[in-house]
């Protein structure tokens, strides 16, 4: 059963990539409908990525629009040497990093508004308070995280990209990605342990 499921998933992935390749080819040829479809397909994931890198909704919207415009202008340079998503995430990450450098003087790179609201009801009021405190602490710690760590941690832990994809997006050696992710995770854990809103036991993930 497991082999059959894996085979079906692989066939679906190949078919999806083939369909996207045809869509990209049409878009590169100037097909406006195909270009609009690409924009609609990637607008939300790119906004989510920008939010997690910049953590301010207005900045993220600006970066997303800039990345989408750059995507359409640069389609002719895409040669398929990397997966389209990897190429597009690298483009968006670069836009966000440039925007962050332009706004270094600003103090609100991260907003108090979470990227995704937690709408699920907590089991009890105490759990709800703890969840809110944890969410606020994580946002604050990510805001203070060194930029090099933040980009790697967001791409891995939030976007779920592979080490190879992150290395390609950030143009870093594979070992550097591993090192920064390890150091970023350690930095985040230590920052949470030092936060008075979060008990050491909760921050360590103990039951």
- The tens digit of pLDDT for each residue in 77-135 reads 887 777 899 999 999 998 988 887 666 534 333 333 344 433 434 444 544 555 566 66
**9 or 49, which is more confident:** 49
Class level of CATH domain 1-105: mainly alpha
**Taking residues 54-75, what's their average pLDDT?**
89
Q: Structure tokens of 58?
A: 């207005």
Phi, psi at residue 85, to the nearest 5°? Answer: -60, -40
Given this chain, do its domains 1-105 and 123-207 carry the same CATH topology? no
Percent of the chain with pLDDT over 90: 29
User: Confidence band (pLDDT; 50, 70, 90) for 148?
Assistant: confident
Q: What interhelical angle do 84-102 and 32-54 show, nearest 10?
A: 50
Q: What is the pTM of this model?
A: 0.62
Domain ranges for the chain: 1-105, 123-207
Q: Determine whether domain 123-207 maps to CATH 1.10.10.10.
A: yes
User: What SS3 class is residue 142?
Assistant: helix
């Amino acid at each position: 059963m497991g082999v059959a499921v894996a085979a079906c998933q692989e066939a679906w992935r190949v078919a999806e990539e083939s369909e996207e390749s045809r869509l990209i080819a049409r878009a590169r040829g100037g097909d406006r409908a195909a270009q609009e479809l690409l924009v609609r397909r990637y607008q939300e994931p790119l906004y989510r990525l920008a939010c997690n890198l910049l953590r301010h909704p207005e900045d993220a919207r600006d970066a997303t629009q800039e990345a989408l415009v750059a995507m359409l202008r640069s389609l002719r340079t895409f040669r398929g040497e990397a997966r389209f998503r990897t190429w597009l995430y690298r483009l968006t990450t670069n836009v966000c990093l440039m925007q962050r450098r332009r706004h270094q003087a600003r103090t609100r790179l991260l907003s108090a508004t979470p990227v995704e609201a937690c709408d699920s009801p907590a089991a009890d009021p105490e759990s709800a308070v703890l969840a809110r405190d944890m969410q606020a602490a994580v946002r604050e710690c990510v805001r203070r995280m060194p930029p090099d760590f933040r980009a790697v941690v967001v791409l891995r832990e939030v976007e779920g990209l592979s080490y190879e994809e992150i290395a390609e997006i950030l143009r870093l050696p594979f070992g550097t990605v591993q090192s920064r992710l390890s150091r970023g995770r350690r930095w985040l854990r230590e920052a949470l342990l030092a936060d008075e809103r979060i008990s050491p036991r909760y921050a360590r993930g103990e039951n």
